[in-house]
Structure 1
């Protein structure tokens, strides 16, 4: 294994320190915690907290800042952050208007974030939660009851973050979040496993000409394995599965995210996107917002995911609203 790390047990701490030192104009590290918070705390708005295991960068610290998250909590690699860490983030960003936890649907994350919610309630901090379960590949998996939360979560961060800046209440944000998640679907595939820096071992094994369809961002099993095909064929296969669930009509507007899992170069992601947009165009669907790149990775895994979000005037407005974060800027 070749990894540019020091001691495995220091990976997360050193990563968080590096993020804060590189982007001190936008974010800061919270004391000695593996928590990134917005540098300029905005008073009078509902605060947003998300997070999860490390290894998915730029998720979630990369989305802290104006127009998106107020704090992101980092667990160890592929491990949920502890409840006390989430609680510290809640306390740090609360302004009295309430805190919304945006949680990817993994059992460990839900358990620890809900425990933190209960701890905050004992301090009279008003906290609610929004669970994202956008992965259509499998209904239950190694780490979940129900569908997993994956790259589509970035759309939730962006839209709910913009609505929070506008002054939406905690209840209004949760209602809006439910609308976003109801209209959001994602599916991915891997062509190569990732290597866990803590062990030096691959997360799973694949044959030279083999891919795994529908796997999770921690290397959880997907729906099946098959032979490697062309980029267009894989893009069409995944997109067609997504479109069966969203039921788009001619002239519907969507946001598209072609997300890399860490190793796949931008060249290949753009080839995937080329086919995705061609298929949507052929159906008369308008791709008004298109994003291509690494938004929610799986260390150095090879592969990609496609997320489709059906838009309406409200969600489109917030997706286009100003944001200033490390990994997502719009003007």
Structure 2
């Protein structure tokens, strides 16, 4: 194992310190090291908080800032954050309009955010709602979930709901919007290699040089099947046809195409996949109105990618285009 680190036991703390120093104009690392928050706390605005195990950077800390999250709670690598992290983050960024937790559908994350929500209501009297993302169509149940996993579509939810929160939308309306974005987002991933967790020092699973894993999760969970490595067009066809089948007839609809790298795939290859996916979806009559390509929801050093398609209505399209300024995503003002 070759990694740029001082030790497996300090890598998260040192990474968070470096992240906060590099983006000190946008974020602040809590002195306890339990969460990253926006530098500016907005009074009267619903606070958006997400989190999960580290190793998926820039998710979630990289999306803290104007137009997205107010705070992010990182756990150890591939390990859920603890309820006290979410509780303290919520109290730090509460603007008086309530808190929305955005939670990927993994059992540890859901359980700990549930506990934090109860503590927040009982101890601080703060209104809180929880939005669960479950956009992964690859498997219904996995090692860590009951039902579908929350994967790259979580970014789309955080972006669109974050823009609406910036405009002053109420907690209940943000919850309804987030549920709509989640329903209209479908994702599917393929791995060409495993990832290596620093504390383990070896790949999470074995994958031969001529193999790939279809439907892999973002923690190295097994997918729906193993297959011989194929061309980009063939890989995209299986993924995109599966997504199109989930949606049914959506001819004439606008959509966001998000091709996400898992951390070990060059942009050149991700754009090849974008080109293949775009052509397939356009054959289904889907208008690709917006695109995002890059490594945003990663799995350490895993090679591979996921494809997410989000059907956009006019409100969602406008919110996607609204200004955003975070470490990893920024456009507009």
Task: Identify whether the pair has TM-score above 0.5, normalized to the shorter chain.
Answer: yes
Moved more, 128-137 or 277-286: 277-286
Shift of 1:248: 4.2
Moved more, 84-93 or 60-69: 84-93
Deviation string for 1:58-111 (max 9, x for gaps)?
000000000000000000000000111111111111111000000000000001
Quick one: distance in 2 between partners of 1:208 and 1:3?
21
Matches within 5 A, 1:137-148: 137-148=138-149
Would the aligned equivalents of 2:252 and 2:285 in 1 still touch at CA under 8 Å?
Answer: yes
Confirm whether residue 47 of structure 1 aligns to residue 47 of structure 2. Answer: yes
**1:120 is matched with which residue?**
120
Query: d(CA) in 1 for partners of 2:76 and 2:158?
Result: 21
Give the match for residue 58 of structure 1.
58
After TM superposition, the runs of 4+ consecutive aligned structure 1 residues lying more than 4 A away are: none
Stretches of structure 1 lacking an aligned partner (at least 5 in a row): none
2:284 counterpart residue number: 283
Render the CA deviation track for 1:245-281: whole Å, top value 9, x for unaligned. Answer: 1124322100010000000100000000001111122
Say whether the 8 Å CA contact 1:33–1:85 is kept in structure 2.
no
Residue equivalent to 2:11: 11
Q: CA contact under 8 A between 2:244 and 2:281: conserved in structure 1? A: no
> In terms of mean alpha carbon deviation, does 69-78 or 248-257 score higher?
248-257
Matching residue of 1:32: 32
Contact 1:13 1:34 in 2 (8 A): no
1: CA distance, partners of 2:10 / 2:235: 38
Question: Quick check: 1:262 aligned with 2:263?
Answer: yes
Question: 2:155 matched to which residue of 1?
Answer: 154
**How many Å separate the matches in 2 of 1:268 and 1:97?**
43
Counterpart check, 1:85 vs 2:85: yes
* Deviation of 1:7 (Å): 1.7
Residues in 2 aligned to 1:248 and 1:325: alpha-carbon distance in whole angstroms? 35
Q: Structure 2 stretches of 5 or more lacking a match?
A: none
Counterpart of 1:179 in structure 2 is: 180
- Equivalent residue number for residue 108 of structure 2: 108
Whether the 8 Å contact between 1:263 and 1:300 is mirrored in structure 2 is yes
Q: Is the 8 A contact 2:215 2:222 kept in 1?
A: yes
Work out whether residues 16 and 34 of structure 1, in 8 Å CA contact, stay in contact via their aligned partners in 2.
no
Number of equivalences? 331
Say if 2:254 is the partner of 1:253. yes
**Residue 284 of structure 1, CA deviation:** 2.5
Task: Note the aligned Cα RMSD (angstroms).
Answer: 0.8
Secondary structure of 2:173's match?
A: helix
* Separation in structure 1 between the aligned mates of residue 218 and residue 82 of structure 2, nearest angstrom: 19
